[in-house]
A and B are shown apart, each in its own frame.
Chain A
């Protein structure tokens, strides 16, 4: 009994508590601190340093100042890859957001078999990216692929998909839309958290379906939208695997995405310094885009009454 009281006193006495907590706190998070220093902070700074060097692994890095950054300005492939990635991001993020919310809303309409539908929509997202890339290569195949055969049977023209400059990016976006199960599940969970009373109140005031969506549903799930948009944007800027497996950047560099060109510079041409400069530019782009979305969110994200 005395021991318990003693420990309780010790627990509550603030000075000892602070010291004790600091020790235990650092002890518990120490794995992350070590990992952060070795596998994040060190390479983060090193890559900034490399971005000012000429480096091909075989010989020591050589300081060249801003040369890598200046070279970007005249590197046509750099601009093309940046344009391709922006194209992908600007189309995919809004379209996938609208489609995912629409599907989640359909699923949220107290429909029979909701969990089965949810499973079916999520299923493509667990397919390994390389496997789904091989699968869509087959679906998009211009001679024997299902999509073209189907269009031919309907007497519709086929655009050549992955083999056409103009269509390769829309094709890849279409394929990515197939894998939006994760946002659908997150939106659905968000929709299920919207209080039913709000809809009833809106109904009493005579709001029609579209008005209910606009002034109840969307504001209530806006934090979830913000989360998914940012996640989708960061992912889109790093779009790589599908292009690597399916097109290798072709045709005519129309699917040479930024991360793919960066990878080629690093591990195929051994322009490691240039690759690091590109990586830092990518980092700054993602940072700026994320900050812009966050700033705009003050105008469209609703955090309840307390804010």
Chain B
């Protein structure tokens, strides 16, 4: 009599455990299939870049070339001055990061830590500019920069970053607001003014947020296409994205070469992503949750 309930008690967890195991196996199976489909294109890019052209046509495909044929890389680097494109992109990226980080943090401090009557309206205007499509200001900006002789240089891409970017100001403001106001008040009573408070107290505490903004801006600059397309009409100024685009029309069927060039354009950003993953993911989560 007493055995039956015992076995039932034992049985239920076993069934449940079995169901849990099969449930988590199914979850993993689904996730693995999804992960493969997300990663496969990048794998295929690298694989293609390491194969001679004849092997591209084979089916079943050569998944991992043996041996690696590196010939596509020097070809891709030398058909056009690709290393020069990389230097141009670094120039654009680094200067625009400096501009954005300095200006956006200064402005964000004003919006986050100082109370003044016009702040609310100005902040709403700033948020509204986030909705403004670039196409609306594109033509007059081009004409403005052409008139002052900046078209054909990096200035139209870099100079505006020294005036703060709405998204980054918003992100930094959210972060600055989490710093206790009592820290500022204590410093003020010790004789500090707003500028020294910003420099000595807020900025050191905001390093992770500043790193996030720097990272976002660098990746934005590295990936930017429409801006360079409009303003950099001289091949010696081309960025990686712009240069890569001209490869498509010039070497449209040499897939090994195109994939080698794409890999070179992608690798620095992927490495940067892996090195800074934590900052990165936190920044993205922050942007969405405090919105």
Contact = CB atoms under 8 A, between A and B. Distances in A.
B59 A282 contact: no
Interface string B87-126: 0000000000000000100110111001111110010011
Contact of B225 (A24, A40, A188, A241): A241
Given A120-B39, A127-B266, A234 B139 contact: no
A283 B128 CA distance: 12
A103 interface: yes
Interface string B139-183: 111111010000000000000101110100100000000000000
Contacts, number: 287
Given A22-B117, A44-B137, A122-B281, A36 B126 contact: yes
A202 B144 CA distance: 60
A24 B194 contact: yes
Contacts of B143: 46, 57, 272
Contacts of A139: 41, 44
Interface stretch (B2-10, B22-30, B66-74): B22-30
Interface residues of B, number: 97
Interface in A207-229: 223-224, 227-228
Given A131-B266, A245-B245, A121 B138 contact: no
A302 to B, nearest CB: 15
A126 interface: yes
Contact of A135 (B45, B103, B166): B45
B42 A186 contact: no
Contact of A111 (B27, B119, B219): B27
30 contacts: A4-B190, A18-B116, A26-B118, A28-B106, A29-B119, A31-B103, A31-B106, A31-B107, A32-B164, A35-B163, A44-B137, A50-B139, A123-B39, A131-B266, A134-B248, A134-B262, A135-B44, A135-B259, A138-B48, A146-B61, A183-B288, A185-B281, A188-B285, A193-B289, A228-B288, A259-B133, A266-B138, A267-B142, A272-B139, A272-B143
